[in-house]
Amino acid sequence: MYTSETFVRVRYGETDQMGYVYYGNYAMYYEVGRVESLRQLGLTYKELEDMGVMMPVLENKSKFHQAALYDDHLKIVTTIREKPGVRIAFYYTIFNDNGTLIHEGETHLAFVDKKTGRPCRPPNVFMDVLKPYF
Amino acid sequence: MYTSETFVRVRYGETDQMGYVYYGNYAMYYEVGRVESLRQLGLTYKELEDMGVMMPVLENKSKFHQAALYDDHLKIVTTIREKPGVRIAFYYTIFNDNGTLIHEGETHLAFVDKKTGRPCRPPNVFMDVLKPYF
Amino acid sequence: MYTSETFVRVRYGETDQMGYVYYGNYAMYYEVGRVESLRQLGLTYKELEDMGVMMPVLENKSKFHQAALYDDHLKIVTTIREKPGVRIAFYYTIFNDNGTLIHEGETHLAFVDKKTGRPCRPPNVFMDVLKPYF
Amino acid sequence: MYTSETFVRVRYGETDQMGYVYYGNYAMYYEVGRVESLRQLGLTYKELEDMGVMMPVLENKSKFHQAALYDDHLKIVTTIREKPGVRIAFYYTIFNDNGTLIHEGETHLAFVDKKTGRPCRPPNVFMDVLKPYF
């Protein structure tokens, strides 16, 4: 299992007239969680794309326990629970400034060869950085 | 059961550099599906808010079968399967120009009294327009 | 001069906690204005990209006279005032349901060859559909 | 004159299929620039709203010199050039990882009393933190 933390500050444009973060904007927070969790391993998603691999989303799930508010400094805890194969799943828990768990989510992505458009194994470098955790 | 159809045209700003609709933007398409399905019943979400009821999202799920592309004219089929109580669930299937099912989703929302911030029953007018279907 | 009209319905996710359309979301409305004004001429921006031409934005200006609100059915009037060269300018006026002018904007874009990344002349088909207006 | 710097990391969802940051997303970067420049003075926009003042946008201008790309770590330099009155103007220059100036923008906002909806003077605390610079 690999877990990492990152933070996002809620932007005004991410709220809606209910005064909450619009429910569609959590997907962007998940993306930040995924990308920064890889960066903390020394790998960037940008590099993966440059290697010819892209990672489209297959499935996404969200549970909204409490609203995130404007200017909240949210902690995103991102976890990879299972060793990745042709698919990978990221799990997120999001906490507000009070340390309250306000949100849970998960995203399942595929590894796809950009040239062929077909599913592929994760690049070796990807498996190498994750090896210590599985 | 109540089912309705509406259409959205994919905007350039909704795509990402993969050339697909960014996965977070489907939530906005679901919103259009929900809002237009109510409008077709003669009711607007705006009116519900004006009556003092808001509908925050509790849960959201998405399955991405095939990518939506720039300028696609997507058909969103929105369905309410179960009679709403203090919660309501909307189910969506999205089809591209070729009639291919490319996406499935569901959103569970609460009815909340704007003044008290507490869960409430749907307004009578809401239940009235849905009565023929349940 | 070429002028056309199109409509957008304000989405909930486009509002912010002020209860107005977030100022950054007008750019998306401009895009709808541009794209639909071309479609009404029988041309799509998608086709232009398929021909190997892309149109990055060089400059954008916006004047906010009055707020657009949730569920407003906005009329976007899009105008091309000058005959396009290697650049093209679109001017927009946006009206709310009461017919009030609430917003003005303009976008200047370049024609760029996707292969070379260099500025280019607009494709002939583009100039042909606009010829009657200049 | 008051100048400050802040950074944003370009998100995948902020790019479009051209592979650039969508032109409408710079408004969000400007917002980050404004908000963080105030925070560095010990003031938050959230506090201003809590004091009963909101700051709707009146005018916005953008010049796109070079594209911002996915995962770029952009430096946003935000400047207040003139002493604020019932209006305030923020000017931005944005630099990419190479230190290249890629973008310039400006936003003019009003101070508005939330209760009356009418223009008002900036709160004293706002003028106080800016006093040393004008």
Element (H, E) at B125: helix B124-130
Q: Which of B14, B16, B28 to probe by mutation at the D interface, max D CB count within 10 Å?
A: B16
What is the CA C134 to chain-centroid distance, rounded?
19
For residue range B43-86, what is the model confidence (pLDDT) as tens digits? 999 999 999 999 999 999 999 999 999 999 999 999 999 999 99
pLDDT of residue D75: 98
Q: Determine the Cα–Cα distance for residues C115 and D119; give it in Å rounded to an integer.
A: 50
* Residue type at position B103: H
Q: Determine the Cα–Cα distance for residues B16 and D104; give it in Å rounded to an integer.
A: 23
Mention every residue, 6+ apart, whose C-beta is less than 8 A from residue A81: A1, A89, A91
Closest chain D residue to the Cα of C110, Cα to Cα: D64
pTM attached to this predicted model: 0.97
Per-block mean pLDDT, blocks of 10 residues, chain A (134 long): 98 97 98 98 96 97 98 98 97 97 98 95 95 96
Q: Hey, is the C-beta of B113 within 8 angstroms of any chain C C-beta?
A: no
Closest CA to C58 of A72, D20, A51: D20
D113 falls in which pLDDT band (50, 70, 90)? Answer: very high
Provide, rounded to the nearest whole percent, the portion of chain B with pLDDT above 70: 100
Q: In chain D, what residues touch A11 (CB-CB under 8 Å)?
A: 28, 31-32, 35
CA angle B87-A24-A57, nearest 5°?
110
Provide, rounded to the nearest whole percent, the portion of chain D with pLDDT above 70: 100
Provide, rounded to the nearest whole percent, the portion of chain D with pLDDT above 90: 100
Tell if the CB–CB gap between C23 and D62 is shorter than 8 Å: no
The answer to whether the beta carbons of residues D49 and A66 sit under 8 Å apart is no
Tell if the CB–CB gap between D63 and C58 is shorter than 8 Å: yes
Give Cα separations from D76 to A123, B92, C60, D45, D104 (angstroms).
34, 40, 18, 18, 10
Q: For the residues D105-131, what does the mean pLDDT come to?
A: 96
C110 falls in which pLDDT band (50, 70, 90)? Answer: very high
Q: Hey, is the C-beta of D60 within 8 angstroms of any chain C C-beta?
A: yes
pLDDT of residue D111: 97
Which subunits have 3 or more CB–CB pairs within 8 Å of chain D?
Answer: A, B, C
By the 10 Å C-beta count (0-12 exposed, 13-18 middle, 19+ buried), A83 is classed as middle
Q: Hey, is the C-beta of B47 within 8 angstroms of any chain A C-beta?
A: no
D18 falls in which pLDDT band (50, 70, 90)? Answer: very high
Tell if the CB–CB gap between A60 and B59 is shorter than 8 Å: no
Q: How many Å lie between the alpha carbon of A85 and the closest alpha carbon of chain D? A: 23
Closest chain D residue to the Cα of A13, Cα to Cα: D28
C106 falls in which pLDDT band (50, 70, 90)? Answer: very high
Q: In chain A, what are the domains?
A: 2-133 (3.10.129.10)
D89 falls in which pLDDT band (50, 70, 90)? Answer: very high
What 8-state DSSP symbol labels residue D15? Answer: B
Mention every residue, 6+ apart, whose C-beta is less than 8 A from residue B74: B7, B8, B9, B10, B29, B68, B94, B95, B96, B102
Element (H, E) at C37: helix C26-39
Which subunits have 3 or more CB–CB pairs within 8 Å of chain B?
Answer: A, C, D
Closest chain B residue to the Cα of D25, Cα to Cα: B13
Q: For the residues B98-124, what does the mean pLDDT come to?
A: 96
Tell if the CB–CB gap between B23 and A54 is shorter than 8 Å: no
pLDDT of residue D106: 98
Average pLDDT taken over every residue of chain B: 97
D115 falls in which pLDDT band (50, 70, 90)? Answer: very high
Tell if the CB–CB gap between B56 and A31 is shorter than 8 Å: no
Q: Determine the Cα–Cα distance for residues A69 and D43; give it in Å rounded to an integer.
A: 18
Mention every residue, 6+ apart, whose C-beta is less than 8 A from residue C48: C54, C55, C123, C126
Q: What is the DSSP string of B35-99?
A: HHHHHTTT--HHHHHHTTEE--EEEEEEEESS---TT-EEEEEEEE-S--SSEEEEEEEEE-TT-
The answer to whether the beta carbons of residues B18 and A56 sit under 8 Å apart is yes
Please tell me whether residue A82 adopts helix, strand or coil conformation: coil
Closest chain C residue to the Cα of D27, Cα to Cα: C24
Residue C62: which of D18, D60, D63 has the nearest Cβ? Answer: D60
Q: Determine the Cα–Cα distance for residues C51 and A81; give it in Å rounded to an integer.
A: 45
Q: Determine the Cα–Cα distance for residues D80 and D44; give it in Å rounded to an integer.
A: 16
pLDDT of residue D105: 98
Closest chain A residue to the Cα of B28, Cα to Cα: A24
